[in-house]
A and B are shown apart, each in its own frame.
Chain A
Amino acid sequence: MRGWYAVFRKEAANFFVAPIAYAVIAIFLLISGFFFWANVSLMSLISLQAANNPMISARINITDIVIRPLIQNMSIVLLFLMPLITMRLFSEEKKSGSIELLLTYPITDAGVLIGKFLAAQLVLLAMLAGTLTFPLFLVFLDDPDLGTLASGYLGLLLMGGAFMAMGIFLSSLTENQVVAAAVSFGAALMFWVMSWSSSFSGEWLGAILRQLSILEHLDSFHKGVLSLVDISFFALFTAFFLFLTLRSVETYRWRG
């Protein structure tokens, strides 16, 4: 991991010097803000309608109507935006040739990779930090379930990290950023919807598809449950694609 900090600083600077990070963060906050507003409006409408019925109004809670759907919607928005963050990380360096110089500095390949991955994580953190105003707003209004909120955000962070690792790997395979983004999005979507076909894929294949599906493993986080299986899935998913990226860089050196 030697030398990761230099790469991290450079990549973080690139994200925030070029308008990439600002554009992605702004779009994410705008769409998330829209979903938050829609959910709060729905909550207010249901509350008004249930005002005369104590049975129903007792069952209405802000976590189910606002927080859970908001986090689910944010995870879908992240699915679209993650490839835009990772697409240039290796492909741009390969196209400009700067990777040749970068790989001759006294930095290990793992250092280069971790520096880039953490810089992308920084953008994800900034995106999620921007949305914290929504739950803060709810805390003043009501009494949301903070556990569900925290686990939901942890799920977003782990899922974002997993998609980023996959996006970085795909970026390391091509010199073309658009190709990297398109393939990353397609692959992320495949992992997202994988479980949909499990019901008609036979017993053992269905079980495998369910285990590989991001959506299945995200569900527990949305429910406020921290499952070791689901946390391990995202950790392994991320580690696997980071490992593949390292092999890809090594192959690039051999072909270089």
Chain B
Amino acid sequence: MIEVDRLTKYYGRLAAIKDVNFRVGQGEIVGFLGPNGAGKTTTMRILTCFSPASSGGARILGMDVNTDSLKIRQKVGYLPENVPLYDWMRVRAYLEFVARAKRIPSGQRVQELERVAACVGLDEVMGKIIRILSKGYRQRVGLAQALLGDPPILILDEPTIGLDPKQIREIRNLIKGFARNRTVILSTHILPEASQVCDRVIIINRGTIVAEDTPTNLTRSYGKSTRCRLVMRAPEGEVTALFSGLRDVISVTLAGDSVNGETSVIVEASPETDIRPALARAVLDRNWDLLELRPLHVSLEDVFIDLVTEEIEESSLTEDVEKREVAS
């Protein structure tokens, strides 16, 4: 449905994105993750035909973004970051303008407006001036304009930014709800959002894609370690020494002070090993009471931070080497 092939965009001499490749299938919700300035918005602007690419290409529903721009714009609903609306307009008038701009026939316009308003919960504020709406409602108006004309593809740039937790949950549920029959690309740097909403995640950093998979697979394959929490009745000093000596254990950290002789520790082990049986055996061999043993899952946030930090470390290492080469 969306095919991006070696997409590159330069601003002057600076490459905002470079050789970006990815595919998005029908009905998928794909999360675009990356720190600020990673190239998420640039990629979205190219896909929505707002800005042309410097090189490479993108095809949406088989159409080229450069040559079939108007046809693609008819099929894509876009919500830019910060939801730029016309503050002086009333919600209904604004949506009527968008419906007209999207060439929805006049006979279907009222019906379409009502459908979209009901879908995002705007019925109560249709007569209000946009300027006086809360941030949550502004976001809904932004989503409504994107949904007008029932586009099969939605591109949402940070749809929950600046909202309070309740509004974030509402908008997330809305996206999950209306995404059933649509392909959605959404950018975010709120990682739990990506885990909860997206079928697949693309992590972009410094203009290149550094990882692409389902949130579960990403945490499984990119997690640098597995972690377990243990609670047992045992002397604090001996626990650390015992676990540190086990094979595949990377580190042992005390999780707070010992209370009533109960010691809690977090054990970090290599990702390919299930360390739990070895830990249980070690505790029982010492005749300590094992009160709790549970794995701590690696979050998408951990993976994201690892990938982004790795990239920065790698690039600074390369820069150092280059500098040294130049100096010598």
Contacts and interface: CB of A to CB of B under 8 A. Distances in A.
A253 B51 contact: yes
Interface in B37-88: 45, 48-52, 70-71, 73-74, 76, 78, 80, 82, 84-88
B52 A253 contact: yes
A3 B99 CA distance: 11
Given A9-B100, A101-B145, A104-B78, A96 B84 contact: yes
B48 A104 contact: yes
Most buried by B among A6, A96, A253: A6
B66 to A, nearest CB: 12
A100 B80 contact: yes
Contact of B97 (A10, A18, A97, A99): A10
Contact of A14 (B70, B76, B88): B88
Contact of A106 (B45, B74, B87, B89): B74
Given A104-B48, A107-B101, A97 B84 contact: yes
Contact of A10 (B78, B86, B145): B86
Interface string A105-148: 11110000000000000000000000000000000000000000
B50 A5 contact: no
A55 interface: no
Nearest to B48: A104
Interface string B80-120: 10101111110001000110111100000000000000000
Contact of A254 (B48, B52, B73, B145): B52
A103 interface: yes
A17 B88 contact: yes
Contacts of B76: 104
B98 A105 contact: yes
Interface in A1-46: 2-3, 5-7, 9-10, 13-14, 17-18
A101 B84 contact: yes
A199 interface: no
Interface string B16-52: 0000000000000000000000000000010011111
A3 B103 contact: yes
A13 B101 contact: no
A6 to B, nearest CB: 4
A59 interface: no
27 contacts: A2-B70, A6-B100, A7-B101, A9-B100, A10-B86, A10-B97, A13-B93, A17-B88, A18-B88, A96-B84, A96-B86, A97-B80, A97-B82, A98-B84, A99-B84, A100-B84, A101-B78, A101-B84, A101-B145, A103-B50, A104-B50, A104-B73, A106-B73, A106-B101, A107-B101, A253-B52, A254-B52
Q: Would you list the 3 A-B pairs with minimal beta carbon distance, nearest first?
A: A97-B84, A6-B100, A256-B51
Given A6-B100, A6-B101, A104-B50, 20 more contacts: A2-B70, A7-B101, A9-B100, A10-B86, A10-B97, A14-B88, A18-B88, A96-B84, A100-B50, A100-B84, A101-B78, A101-B84, A101-B145, A104-B48, A105-B98, A106-B70, A106-B74, A108-B70, A255-B51, A256-B50
Interface of B: 11, 45, 48-52, 70-71, 73-74, 76, 78, 80, 82, 84-89, 93, 97-98, 100-103, 145
